[in-house]
C-alpha cells in the first residue's frame, strides 16, 4: 500500500540542480566587461552544412582581460565564424588577422550594466519557476499516494520537498547576487 511510499528525493534534487546548472550556463553567456571564453558558447557557426558550436571550429583563448581570440582551424571558415559572431547579438566587433579572430571586449556603460542585471534576474526567475514546478511535481506524487499514508508520513515528505525547494531557491538567489555584483563592478 502507500506505507511503502518513498519519494525519490535524489531525483528531485538532481533535477533542481539541473535548473541551477542551466542558470549558471545562461549567466556565463552574459557579457560583464571581462573577457570569457564561455561568452561564445551560444554562438553557432554554419560549418560544412550544419550548425556547429564555435569551439568545434577553432580554439578559443583569453590572452588578456579584455580580449578573446579564436584560432580557426580551417582558413575557409574564418569568414563564417566572423559572420556568426557579428550576428550573435553579443555586441562585439571581430577583427581578423589570418586565421586568428580577435574580439576586443569594450567597457560597459552604467545603463548597459543595469540592463544586464535585469536580464540576469529574468534568468534567475525562470530557474526559480523550474524549481517550483519540480516542487509541485513532488507534492502531487505525495497527494496521489495519500491513501493509506499516515498524516505524519505525509507531513514528513511534504517537509522534505519544501526543504529541498528552499535550498535550491537560495542557491539561485546567491548565484544571481554574485553575477549582479560582477556585472556592476567597474
**Could you tell me the pLDDT band of residue 2, with boundaries at 50, 70 and 90?**
very low
pLDDT in tens, 113-164: 888 888 889 999 999 999 999 999 999 988 888 777 888 888 998 999 999 9
The yes/no answer on whether domain 8-27+109-184 falls in CATH 3.30.1050.10 is no
pLDDT in tens, 48-64: 888 988 888 999 998 88
**Could you tell me the pLDDT band of residue 1, with boundaries at 50, 70 and 90?**
very low
Residues of the chain with CATH 1.10.132.20: 8-27+109-184
Distance CA 146, CA 178 (A): 41
Residues of the chain with CATH 3.30.1360.40: 34-104
Q: Give percent of the chain above pLDDT 70.
A: 95
Residue 148: which region, alpha, beta or left (left: phi > 0; alpha: psi -120 to 50)?
left
Query: Spelled out in words, what is the top-level CATH class assigned to the domain 34-104?
Result: alpha beta
Amino acid at each position: 500500500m502507500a506505507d511503502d511510499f518513498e519519494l525519490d528525493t535524489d531525483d528531485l534534487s538532481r533535477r533542481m540542480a539541473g535548473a541551477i546548472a542551466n542558470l549558471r550556463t545562461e549567466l556565463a553567456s552574459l557579457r560583464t566587461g571581462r573577457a570569457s571564453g564561455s561568452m561564445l558558447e551560444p554562438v553557432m557557426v554554419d560549418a560544412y552544412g550544419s550548425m556547429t558550436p564555435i569551439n568545434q571550429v577553432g580554439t578559443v583563448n583569453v590572452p588578456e582581460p579584455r580580449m578573446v581570440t579564436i584560432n580557426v582551424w580551417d582558413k575557409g571558415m574564418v569568414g563564417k565564424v566572423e559572420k556568426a559572431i557579428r550576428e550573435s547579438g553579443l555586441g562585439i566587433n571581430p577583427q581578423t588577422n589570418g586565421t586568428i579572430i580577435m574580439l576586443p571586449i569594450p567597457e560597459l556603460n552604467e545603463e548597459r550594466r543595469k540592463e544586464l542585471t535585469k536580464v540576469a534576474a529574468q534568468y534567475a526567475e525562470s530557474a526559480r519557476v523550474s524549481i517550483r514546478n519540480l516542487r509541485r511535481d513532488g507534492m502531487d506524487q505525495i497527494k496521489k499516494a495519500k491513501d493509506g499514508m499516515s498524516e505524519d508520513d505525509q507531513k514528513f515528505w511534504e517537509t522534505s520537498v519544501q526543504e529541498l525547494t528552499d535550498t535550491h531557491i537560495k542557491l539561485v538567489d546567491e548565484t544571481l547576487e554574485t553575477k549582479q555584483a560582477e556585472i556592476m563592478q567597474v
